[in-house]
């Protein structure tokens, strides 16, 4: 139920006459907080010439008196009346803008607020007062920005200024910050950190050059996942870029550093020499972990990583997984983990030994490597 002012005053009067809060709240079905608010606004405090006034009414009258006094001051200070041309009144009010609130200024000379604001916007670029105000706020904004360690954006910076008594908008603060070149360090913190530490971060050593002259020059690796009977399994592979041969693979229920390191150790065991080898992958946390990077360092292997958001930098590994899924995993329904592991093993054997590869002139990876070593001897 919605109450108008008179019923509210009647409820407050009953409370002042001794009716309990519990009884009033139950009778009118209102919460205690509402009744307390009504008492604060409509409590009868002063009686003048037989007329009673609430606190709220007294405050409204005091505000009105203050506003009328300001209007009188404005009319005394200007050589202009409400009957003067609109353009003249606008320029007079503009000269007082900032000394009084806009409502009072416009009421004093009978000018619509929208008309006044439009006039201000049209003339503020060449207005000396605006220029002075912007210059003052440049220093104020800079001081507050530095005080809060350069982490505040326009909205929070405005909140601080309003709390300190400044009447400014977020748009105004935004323009000041833009002119001064101020930007919250939180916005670019990560990018700045990465740029400062770029020298320590692995670079992309192969730059999408997916051809090498011999085996064991570049290995590429990636991890993918596949769902079998409501369980996810992660597959890690390492391929030799020369022949596209899968030199090692691993399957795990967790996408962990352990999966990558165990697959890498298997590749080293299978291939032997890692002299001058480059190991390329994406920026997955497993490949960027301290344990894996230390493992590469122990084998004197140079690490290469794809650029952020650039899957094509690791296209060879991505292409293998696409073939694995299209030619095997999507075509079969595995009923158990054992069957899934056996299926992946069989496909990799087929891929290395029997599947022709267009880039290898329709030879298999194993055949391509055998031809290389035959020519070497």
Longest dimension (CA), the chain: 122
Residues 340, 345, 269, 202, Cα dihedral to 10°: -70
Question: Residue 276: how many CB atoms within 10 A of its CB?
Answer: 11
CA angle centred on 100, ends 60 and 137, rounded to 5°: 125
Categorise residue 98: left if φ over 0, alpha if ψ from -120 to 50, beta otherwise.
left
Q: How confident is the model at residue 187, as a pLDDT?
A: 64
Residue 78 zone, left/alpha/beta (φ > 0; ψ -120 to 50; rest) = beta
pLDDT of residue 53: 66
| End-to-end Cα, the chain, rounded Å | 98
CB-based contact 348:249 (threshold 8 Å): yes
Query: Which segments of the chain have a pLDDT < 70?
Result: 1, 43-56, 123-129, 186-200, 377
CATH class for domain 218-376? Answer: alpha beta
Predicted pLDDT of residue 128? 64
List the chain domain ranges.
127-180, 218-376
pLDDT at 195: 58
- Tell me the per-residue pLDDT of 290-319, one tens digit each, with 9 for 90 and over: 889 888 988 889 999 998 888 899 999 999
pLDDT in tens, 315-356: 999 999 999 999 999 998 888 999 999 999 999 999 999 999
On whether the pTM is more than 0.95, the answer is: no
């Amino acid at each position: 139920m919605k109450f108008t002012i008179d019923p509210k005053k009647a409820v407050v009067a009953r409370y002042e006459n001794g009716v309990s809060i519990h009884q009033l709240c139950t009778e009118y079905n209102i919460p205690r907080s509402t009744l307390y608010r009504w008492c604060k606004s409509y409590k009868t405090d002063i009686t003048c010439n037989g007329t009673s006034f609430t606190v709220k009414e007294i405050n409204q009258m005091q505000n009105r008196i203050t506003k009328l006094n300001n209007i009188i001051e404005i009319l005394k200070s200007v050589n202009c009346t409400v009957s003067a041309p609109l353009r003249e009144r606008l320029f007079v009010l503009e000269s007082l803008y900032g000394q009084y609130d806009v409502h009072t200024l416009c009421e004093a000379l009978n000018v619509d607020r929208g008309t006044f604001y439009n006039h201000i916007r049209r003339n503020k670029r060449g207005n000396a007062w605006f220029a002075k105000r912007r210059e003052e706020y440049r220093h104020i904004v800079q001081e507050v920005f530095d005080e809060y360690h350069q982490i505040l954006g326009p909205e929070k910076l405005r909140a601080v200024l309003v709390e300190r008594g400044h009447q400014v908008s977020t748009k105004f603060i935004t323009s000041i910050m833009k002119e001064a070149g101020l930007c919250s360090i939180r916005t670019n913190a990560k990018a700045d950190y990465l740029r400062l530490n770029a020298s320590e971060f692995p670079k992309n050593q192969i730059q999408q050059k997916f051809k090498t002259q011999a085996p064991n020059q570049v290995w590429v690796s990636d991890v993918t996942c596949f769902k079998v009977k409501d369980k996810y399994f992660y597959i890690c592979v390492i391929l030799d870029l020369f022949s596209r041969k899968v030199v090692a693979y691993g399957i795990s229920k967790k996408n962990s550093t352990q999966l990558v390191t165990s697959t890498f150790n298997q590749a080293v065991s299978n291939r032997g020499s890692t002299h001058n080898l480059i190991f390329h992958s994406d920026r997955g946390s497993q490949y960027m972990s301290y344990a894996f990077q230390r493992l590469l360092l122990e084998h004197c292997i140079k690490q290469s990583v794809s650029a952020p958001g650039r899957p094509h930098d690791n296209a060879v590994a991505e292409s293998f997984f696409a073939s694995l899924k299209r030619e095997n995993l999507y075509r079969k329904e595995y009923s158990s983990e054992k069957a899934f592991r056996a299926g992946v093993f069989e496909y990799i054997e087929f891929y290395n030994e029997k599947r022709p590869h267009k880039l290898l002139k329709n030879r298999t990876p194993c055949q391509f490597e055998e031809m290389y070593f035959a020519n070497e001897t």
